[in-house]
Structure 1
Amino acid sequence: MKSTELRDLSDKELRTHVATQRRELFGLRLQHATGELENTAGMRTAKRDLARALTVARQRGVDPTQKNDG
């Protein structure tokens, strides 16, 4: 997701996106460790997407670890 698209998200949606990206990256790392991952470039993309989302969150002053209670 591009940084301009991330900036258009609400705070709640941004936190959800960060959590989803973290889960995806964890899954990719697990697949890589067990030898199931064929496309290792996906890990690089996932890392960059997570970093981009965290950067936007920190610029906004949003705590990405906060729960999405409302």
Structure 2
Amino acid sequence: MTKIIDIRGLSADQVSDEVLKLKREQFNLRFQRATGQLENTNRFREIRRDIARLNTVARERALEEGATETKPRGKRAAAKAKA
């Protein structure tokens, strides 16, 4: 399990590389589960939470830099944005 302190020490490129690596591992675990070869089912939870930690740090950095580009979610929000 990755500690948030360790994640904050990574560069932006390293964070995105780590997310990509964990998503690949998650994909492989899905195949292992489907074929009945999965032994450590708790690894799904660990990966999901590690990805969330990495995304949180990336989002915090984006907010600090002022790169907050929000996009409307749903039809009502899009209509309000146009008005």
Rg larger for: 2
TM-score interval, smaller chain: 0.7 to 0.9
CA distance in 2, matches of 1:8, 1:35: 37
1:60 alignment counterpart: 61
- Indicate the structure whose relative CO is greater, using CA pairs within 8 Å and at least 6 residues apart: 1
Q: Unpaired segments of 5 or more residues in structure 1? A: 63-70
Q: Unpaired segments of 5 or more residues in structure 2? A: 64-83
TM-score (norm 1): 0.79
Q: Name the SS of the counterpart of 1:61 in structure 2.
A: helix
CA distance in 1, matches of 2:50, 2:41: 15
Runs of 4+ aligned residues of structure 1 deviating over 4 Å after TM superposition are none
Number of aligned residues: 62
Cα deviations across residues 2-60 of structure 1 (Å, max 9, x unaligned)?
A: 11110110111111111111111111112112211011011111111111111111111
| Correspondence 1:6-21 to 2 at 5 A | 6-21=7-22
RMSD of aligned Cα (Å): 1.4
